[in-house]
Amino acid sequence: MSEKSIVTKVLRYLKTVPGCFCWKEHGGMYGTAGIPDIIACVNGRFIAFEIKTPSGKTTKLQEA
């Protein structure tokens, strides 16, 4: 399963959770480096998700 499909499934699930607001951070040339794939706020608590498959590698900024 690819990271993209995992991100899609996680987002789909989070959108069913009561009191949860979530979004996918779209990187690219104008995005901020090191931002997690998914950011969520659940009942006032922020949670960040960095999705990686076994072959995926984190950057130094993502490890911080």
Q: How many whole angstroms from its chain centre is CA 57?
A: 15
Q: What is the pLDDT of residue 41?
A: 98
Q: What is the pLDDT of residue 25?
A: 82
User: What tokens does 34 get?
Assistant: 């090191």
Look-up of token digits 């969520």: 40
Which residue ranges make up each domain of the chain?
A: 3-63
How far is 51 from 12, CA to CA, in rounded Å?
Answer: 14
Nearest to 11, CA basis, from 20, 44, 58: 20
Convert the pLDDT of each residue in 24-35 to its tens digit. 988 777 778 888
Q: Are 14 and 36 in contact (CB under 8 A)?
A: no
pTM: 0.80
Confidence of residue 64 (pLDDT cuts 50, 70, 90): low
